[in-house]
Structure 1
Amino acid sequence: MDNKREQNPSPVPKKTIPPYMKAVSGSLGGVVEACCLQPIDVIKTRLQLDTTGTYRGIIHCGATVSRTEGVRALWKGLTPFATHLTLKYTLRMGSNAVFQSAFKDSKTGKISNQGRLMAGFGAGVLEALAIVTPFEVVKIRLQQQRGLSPELLKYKGPIHCARMIIREEGLFGLWAGAAPTVMRNGTNQAAMFTAKNAFDVLLWKKHEGDGKVLQPWQSMISGFLAGTAGPVCTGPFDVVKTRLMAQSRGGGELKYKGMVHAIRTIYAEEGLLALWKGLLPRLMRIPPGQAIMWAVADQVTGFYERRYLRNAPL
């Protein structure tokens, strides 16, 4: 028996990348993603807010905005969007790593799929409350403004917009639409982190801490596939979030009283498919965005693995 125990020692916990490195990798990926994909986000917001049929589709919407407001209008809200993405990915990647550490088996260092889902959901809820909701409220208020003359616009910029919302609607005005945002982000991140890991293992035989660094194109494929399912599942939450964030409490009675009321109202007035308005631009933005973000993030964490984990003592 003693010989068998010596021949089959207990498994050694796997070496892992620390949360702060995950946070750094996410922040760098967020900057690159924001600059590349902001126009698609503007188009998505305009389509979701279009209740009169002004825009006939993605191309018509983009062309109309460019023609009537200038090409730069497609980058409206870039400052809060880029800041929001950078902070969001920093918190998302870092907190997910912390949550995964809490759910890992203390002896083997491995985490189950259920633990990975819970860690992703926790990271999504945290980012939704701390960062995503207030930044998206400001971004959406800026994006819904139409016109070329700055003096005619209610909000002159992100800081002015935030101040106006707080003055007219109170501090909690920055957290309009928090409930559907929590549901959207929690579900998205639970699916995304689990799917990204699964695709890395399935397609490239890549396991965290093994020292293997994916090529950028490999990371992009895994990230793209992982980012596809979320928008389809969370479309209604995203539409409701946008509608709740866009309405101003300074203009009298609110049309939508909350998440459930908004879903019922949109369904009654516009039909079931209206709850998936803006889905195509979301699919044009989120999967490519995840592809870009993971291509950057995996290179950063891959460098750390090569430099500090491959030859590190167990």
Structure 2
Amino acid sequence: MPKNDGALANPELTDQSLQNRVRGFAAGMASGLTKLAVGHPFDTVKIRMQTTSSADGRFKGPLDCFLKTIRQEGPRALYKGATPPLVGWMFMDSIMLGTMHNARMIQQQLNGDRPLSTFQYGLAGLAGGITVSFVATPVEQIKARLQVQYDAKSKTYNGPIDCIRQVVRNNGIFGLWQGLTPTMLFRSWFFVFWCTYQELSTKLKQTSLSDGSVSFIAGGLSATAFWIGAFPSDMVKNRYMTQPDVSPKKFPTPTSVARYVYQTQGLKGFYRGFMPSFLRAFPTNASAVFMFEFVMKLLSTSKANNEPL
């Protein structure tokens, strides 16, 4: 990855004040709320496609899944499982983006006056993705289990609290973290996301686009690159998390999920449900990154004007 040689270090990364360290967490919360509002219906369709197969005959494709969900369960069904991420994604994005911001600051200290390279921006994204996996795993597990309840006959959980209670009863407290390994693998792809974002935003800033447009476009395109690579690990993660709590488990390990998918559906099976993610990636992540950058700048302006947070 090329370095931005000749440029000055970002002053936001050389400011070691507590307020600057906290800004990334606050902006991350705003980003998480935006992501939920825009992206959850797409996510519900994606999860339902990932946890079924063409042999099941339940859905012919993403559009069929979308229409059947609305027709059989009503429009509100697209927001099934939204409560865990409503709370969780605020904190997840706060932790991920806050960690990323502080990782950038640490690297900037080591760099001195030299700006961060694209690779270093990617490393900061990787640090944020790995760190947040420990919070994301239980949140995503509860969300996914609720999303694959199709009707009253298949309803196992009465809500998020009941789902947590049953998972703990059946698998122990650490059962909430089953799927941690594929979650970490999936979120390690934020290295690619932030490398791509840094490169694209640097190029787009050389045009006549506004800063907001640069953040929106670069965020959307970076998310597209992210999902192309990360989708198979996300598919394995969700298939592993949503299997019934029976003994012995059909899939004792994430690797057994991957082996089963490959043997029964081939490589294309790892991309079942990809279209909803592809359609969701640009608007959801473009909006989320735009909100992150906007709040970061807003809080930076407040600090410059000596205004309280």
Q: Is the 8 A contact 1:92 1:124 kept in 2?
A: yes
The match for 1:246 is 242
SS of 2:12 mapped into structure 1:
coil
Provide the TM-score with structure 2 as the length reference: 0.87
Q: Does 1:199 align with 2:196?
A: no
Runs of 5+ unmatched residues, structure 2: 1-6, 14-19
Q: Which moved more, 1:280-289 or 1:237-246?
A: 280-289
The match for 1:286 is 281
Provide the TM-score with structure 1 as the length reference: 0.86
Distance 1:20 1:205 in 2: 30
Q: How does 1:265-284 map to 2 (within 5 A)?
A: 265-284=260-279
Note the C-alpha offset of 1:241.
0.2
The match for 1:298 is 293
Distance 2:66 2:10 in 1: 48
Letter in 1 for 2:47: T
Q: Is the 8 A contact 2:118 2:198 kept in 1?
A: no
% same residue: 26
Q: Is the 8 A contact 2:31 2:288 kept in 1?
A: yes
The match for 1:173 is 175
Give CA deviations for 1:85-134 in whole Å, capped at 9, x if unaligned: 211110111101111222223421522223222221111011112x1110
The match for 1:72 is 76
Runs of 5+ unmatched residues, structure 1: 1-10, 207-212
Root mean square deviation, CA, Å: 2.3
| Max Rg structure | 1
Q: How does 1:1-314 map to 2 (within 5 A)?
A: 14-16=10-12, 18-51=20-53, 52-104=56-108, 105-108=110-113, 110-129=115-134, 131-148=135-152, 153-187=155-189, 189-205=190-206, 214-249=210-245, 251-308=246-303
Q: What is the number of equivalent residue pairs in this alignment?
A: 290
Q: Is the 8 A contact 1:19 1:93 kept in 2?
A: no
Distance 2:168 2:64 in 1: 34
The match for 2:3 is none
Q: Is the 8 A contact 1:117 1:193 kept in 2?
A: yes
Give CA deviations for 1:162-221 in whole Å, capped at 9, x if unaligned: 11100111112111211111011012x111122222222110149xxxxxx954333211
Q: Is the 8 A contact 1:69 1:148 kept in 2?
A: no
Note the C-alpha offset of 1:308.
3.7
Note the C-alpha offset of 1:66.
1.1
Note the C-alpha offset of 1:69.
1.3
SS of 1:146 mapped into structure 2:
coil
